[in-house]
Amino acid sequence: MFVALEGGDGSGKTGALAHLGQALRDWPGGVLFTREPGGTEEGLAIRSLLLGRGEHDWDPWAELLLVAAARAQHVARVIRPALAAGGLVVSDRYVGSTLAYQGAGRGLDAAAIRMVHNHSTGDLWPDLTVVLDVDPELALARGMARLAAEASGEDRFESLGLEFQRRVRQSFLAQAAAAPQRHAVIDASCPIELVQAQVAAAVLGFLGRA
Ligand code: TMP
């Protein structure tokens, strides 16, 4: 089983993942928590090219191919072997983010993104994608993106801007609406404890049904 967690910047993914880790600590066969861009040493090097502090002026196609390169490595070296061993994989972001950020955000064609994805991962899609949905204005007011940026030495939210984040949000909602059986949308404007409990319930419910 392969689960991805998605959401705009500042939607509370980090806390939700920590809570999910607790909820799944006794999961038989083990759980691999991983993240994108990243997940491998090579992927982390790409992550710092994309997200490290400083001025970046990536062309959208260059950006797409970098996230796709990191993902190809991640899928081949980490995700597929873990799935083949019978484990549960939970990824902090996956292709939903590419459709939202490089697609809706940067204006690249969704069909082209899917094609790159299918070729570079052997068509690997999550069994379940959990979307943390929050109005970007509220996310900005809550300051969670800023705190995460300070902690990680990365900064995206402010540089992308509210309009961009609104397009990202709409894309995640549209992706969920197009394949409701493979998505769970959680209202991330609720109190944080409630959001975290709902994420864990969505994942455990899905795994129980699968
Ligand atoms: P995060 O790890 O704190 O969620 O931040 C990762 C950033 O990278 C976030 O702004 C979204 C962005 N991103 C893309 O633009 N495309 C992608 O395919 C992925 C996985 C992330």
The Å distance, Cα 131 to ligand 1 centre, comes to: 14
> Residue 29's domain spans which residues?
2-209
- pTM value > 0.85: yes
pLDDT over 70 percentage in the chain: 98
pLDDT per residue as tens digits for the range 125-184: 999 999 999 999 999 888 777 777 787 878 665 678 899 999 999 999 999 999 999 999
> What does the pLDDT read at residue 29?
86
Pocket test for ligand 1, best of 61, 79, 156 (most atoms within 8 A of CB): 156
Amino acid at 29: G
Q: How many domains does the chain have?
A: 1
- DSSP label at 182? G
> What does the pLDDT read at residue 158?
60
Close Cβ partners of 131 (under 8 Å, ≥ 6 residues apart): 6, 7, 96, 172, 173, 175, 176, 183, 184, 185, 186
155 CB near ligand 1 (under 6 Å): no
98 CB near ligand 1 (under 6 Å): yes
pLDDT per residue as tens digits for the range 95-112: 999 999 999 999 999 999
Four-point Cα dihedral 80, 91, 155, 50, nearest 10: 10
The Å distance, Cα 198 to ligand 1 centre, comes to: 22
* Pick from 182, 204, 189, 181: nearest CA to 8: 189
* Per-residue pLDDT band at 64 (split at 50, 70, 90): very high
CATH number at residue 102: 3.40.50.300
Element of type H or E holding 110: helix 110-121
Q: Give the mean pLDDT of 46-69.
A: 92
